[in-house]
Structure 1
């Protein structure tokens, strides 16, 4: 399977909707199940965000988004979100997206800190984030409502290595 990474285009919204319409995807996000296509478009069609997509056979099968800020004192940091179509889980798509996002953050966007939140029960995602250099910073207890109950969120971050060792 050949995976290509490129920047998001508006024409990707249909494929991204196909990913986000799946309850098994939205279950691990902050979105409600059965998200509509207008909401998906709003998520991605924002010039302040930096989104990369993964393509397999000319179909978008995942994305990683860096949510950048205009706050002067926070411009060194971005919040990260990722989703991969379940048919591509375990095939390296998520890892490749994360590696490319980190490379862009370090070498082109001049970011020092990447941060994310992940459901405590999403052990596969936690392991992926650790493989690309994220560390657990803490737990937000009873932070989100999922499948009829409150669950914890793991707060994770990655500090650019050259800054962490020299900072």
Structure 2
């Protein structure tokens, strides 16, 4: 597996990942995104996206959403998706480790935050393994599969700044 920066030619593989219902069910997007909609998700200049490539095919991505807000530049939100055929093969873990490496050592981030569906137990377990902690619950904050569910708010503070948290 090779972790590298997202390139324009990767958008077809990203669209493929987001074509799976089980992937879309755990995002904030509606199912059946067009290829241009998926491309637009990853085209903003304030994003830092890494992909996992196996045998020439992108099987996952992690994106850090940076901010232009002057007082929040030390913070980013994170999103990740892995092709269902690559679940359980360490792709998500490798992507998260590299995103954290970039955050701590190159992007000068102190705080990385995310929201995860409360019923996405495997994602929550991954985030905890790489150092994220639960900060709170947004009760009934999203609509999924015909019902409202909770979102879990999680963050990871850079080890260099944990004493200040």
| TM-score for both structures, normalised by structure 1 | 0.97
- 1:47 Cα deviation from its structure 2 partner: 1.6
Q: What pairs up with 1:11-160 in 2 under 5 angstroms?
A: 11-160=9-158
* Structure 2 unmatched ranges of 5 or more: none
Is contact 1:10-1:45 (8 Å) kept?
no
Is contact 1:13-1:41 (8 Å) kept?
yes
- Whole-angstrom distance in 2 between the partners of 1:145 and 1:17: 23
* Number of residues of Structure 1 aligned to a counterpart in Structure 2: 165
128 and 42 in structure 1: CA distance in 2 versus 1, 3 angstrom threshold:
same
- 1:24-68 Cα deviation digits (max 9, x unpaired): 100000011111111101001122100000000010000000000
- Whole-angstrom distance in 1 between the partners of 2:158 and 2:150: 26
Q: Partner of 2:140: helix, strand, or coil?
A: strand
* Structure 1 unmatched ranges of 5 or more: none
Give the match for residue 162 of structure 1: 160
Q: Partner of 1:38: helix, strand, or coil?
A: helix
Q: Over the residues paired in the alignment, what is the CA RMSD in angstroms?
A: 0.8
| TM-score for both structures, normalised by structure 2 | 0.98
- 1:165 Cα deviation from its structure 2 partner: 2.7
- 1:155 Cα deviation from its structure 2 partner: 0.2
Give the match for residue 5 of structure 1: 3
Moved over 2 A (4+): none
